[in-house]
Chain A
Amino acid sequence: MSVQQISVFLESQPGHLRRVLDAFEDAHVSVRGYSASDTGDYGIVRFIVDDPERALAVLVDMGAAAATTDVLCARLDDTPGELARVMGIMADCGINVTYSYSLISTYIALSVKDLARAEELLAGEPVELIGQDDLARPLASGEGR
């Protein structure tokens, strides 16, 4: 089980990220998580959205340099030690996490080189992976607010 991530090439300039977000909003694409880092003049901004297909179409329409990648998405309990537990499992399975970031609530996206193998390895482990369908639902609901 995995989710589709949208990556966009963006210059590190005021307004460039906003342009993408405005376009997402106009197309009713809901951003469930994202990451952007200080890699210099430009960066790769990554999004997890409810509808990756529509999001990609929006970006292609804009003429942006964008791509989709499959990443793992794990649901974590909001309790101390939970992140360490999940990363510990990744380590024990010998899976290198290329990058990772958290989504809304206690979900984290994890990029790995060999997704299929990682899924296989994690199948028997106490890590709850979620799929694209799960992202379409309001994730935080039912978690006892």
Chain B
Amino acid sequence: MADMTVKGAALAAAAAGDFSDLPIHNPAVECASRERIRAIQLEKLVAQVAWTYERVPWYRARMDELGVAPADIKTLADVRKLPFTDKSVLRDTFPYGLFAVPLDEVVELHASSGTTGKPIVVGYNQNDMDMWSDCIMRLVQMAGVVPGDRAQMAFGYGMFTGGFGLHYGLQKLGCMMIPAGSGNTERHIAMIEDYGTTVLIATPSYALHMCEVGERLGFDWESSTLRVGLFGGEPCPPGLKAEIESRMHIVCTDNYGLTEVMGPGVSGECLASRDMQHIAEDHFLWEVVDPDTGEPVPDGEMGELVLTPLGKQAIPVLRYRTHDLTRVTCEPCACGRTTARMQKVRARCDDMLIIRGTNVFPSQVEDVLSGIQGVTPHYRIVVDNEGGLDRMVVHVELKPEAFSDSFEDMERLRRAIEEKLKGVLLVGVRVRLVEPGGIERTTGKAKHVEDLRK
């Protein structure tokens, strides 16, 4: 925040190291002693396991197989007796197999793209929506958002959890929502000016793009009303955030979450420890495990984050394997909160890519290519964010027999592959044809992805 104009007294004080003017949404939990937090978690975990066992046949069968009953959960460590949940479980039980409440009690559905075919679908009853909004209200206030702020949404709405999740929470806090949705950058900038927008919700790559378009149009970010950016949908490297902050003259935080356990809001960045995010611990029990063995790693060490939502009713997922790598500290934070903080996720144990907020799996690319005559199944994905937006280039190897002397034919093939990939990945990609044998063959686990994003 060094070389930027900080707008508003509370943010200016925070920039100077005094966080006392920033609101804390629920101090009874967020600033409770570690003992108190653990007590809340245990009480909710016991109830959650019973709820799940009684209402979801899939979990009851797994727990019976493992010989564990709800009554066996007596301490937080007993969570390890419970089965893990992987993404495949949600796919296999599509659409309603894991629901624990009658469908007429469900008030909203959301979905995320799956690896192949069916998406992952999740449902929320009113209790879950309230829990979600509670999480959102916490994290937006960490960034200095207050009732009366005018919050402009640049996420797409639709089935993606990011749009509506943030929308409801911000509205409940008392913000005026401006549901602009994704796309049309110039219109977004005009709306900031016309409506006096103070908060922008966007993916960091889109925010940077917006910043650049604004600069080109001669928009004066420094004197604009905008003062806070709430980022999500994709990891935000510190360098990118600092750049956006200094060029747009706003304070930006990002948060963490995933559709399978709720959506955005599992944890959020506070301005006192910017590489870390406070976990809403009364709503989520976290574990950090060795991704290979599933055993807990020593305190504070890097491992795979495993989450059990507490008090979530419509889909009560137990021990969800996020495949996200992080480390967690329980040291109190300078912002005044005592909730555990997780380091921002920069790597995953599997190779999922997040391109402009959309999950992309290399296996999807492989599937598409194997269905196309004229190219080999060998490929390489190169991702960069030159110019602000994520750009994905798929290198595809031409088969000798598919070659013709006509450049037009070659371009037609190339574009047909682009279209097919776009149809499956739901994100635009560029296909680059390479010579037969041009993709390096590796022994063992093939290295398909080169991520050059800064």
Contact = CB atoms under 8 A, between A and B. Distances in A.
Contacts of B437: 63
B436 A64 contact: yes
Interface string A1-18: 000010101110000100
Nearest to B401: A65
Interface of A: 5, 7, 9-11, 16, 39, 41-44, 46, 60, 63-67, 69, 111
Nearest to A111: B405
A107 to B, nearest CB: 19
A41 B403 contact: no
Contact of B432 (A10, A41, A64, A66): A41
Given A9-B398, A64-B400, A65-B398, A44 B405 contact: yes
A7 B438 CA distance: 18
A44 B410 CA distance: 9
A43 B399 CA distance: 15
Given A9-B398, A42-B410, A67 B404 contact: yes
B400 A60 contact: yes
A63 B432 contact: no
A63 B404 contact: no
Contacts of A111: 405
B435 interface: yes
A111 B269 CA distance: 63
A69 B432 CA distance: 25
A18 to B, nearest CB: 14
Interface in B398-419: 398-400, 402-407, 410
B407 A39 contact: yes
Contacts of B69: none
A32 B404 CA distance: 21
Given A9-B398, A9-B410, A42-B410, A66 B434 contact: no
Nearest to A59: B400
Interface in B427-445: 432-438
Contacts of B405: 5, 7, 44, 46, 67, 69, 111
Contacts of B438: 11
A12 to B, nearest CB: 10
Nearest to A6: B405
B403 A9 contact: yes
A104 B129 CA distance: 76
A25 to B, nearest CB: 20
B435 A11 contact: yes
Given A41-B432, A42-B434, A44-B405, A66 B400 contact: yes
A65 B403 contact: yes
B410 A16 contact: no
Interface in B352-367: none
A112 B362 CA distance: 42
A137 B33 CA distance: 94
Contacts of B406: 44
Contacts of A64: 400, 435-436
A71 to B, nearest CB: 9
Given A42-B410, A44-B410, A66 B435 contact: no
Contact of A63 (B400, B407, B410, B433): B400
Most buried by B among A5, A42, A43, A67: A42
Given A65-B400, A66-B400, A9 B433 contact: yes
26 contacts: A7-B403, A7-B404, A7-B405, A9-B398, A9-B403, A9-B433, A10-B435, A11-B434, A11-B435, A16-B435, A39-B407, A41-B432, A42-B432, A42-B433, A42-B435, A43-B407, A44-B405, A63-B436, A63-B437, A64-B435, A65-B398, A65-B399, A65-B400, A66-B400, A67-B403, A67-B404
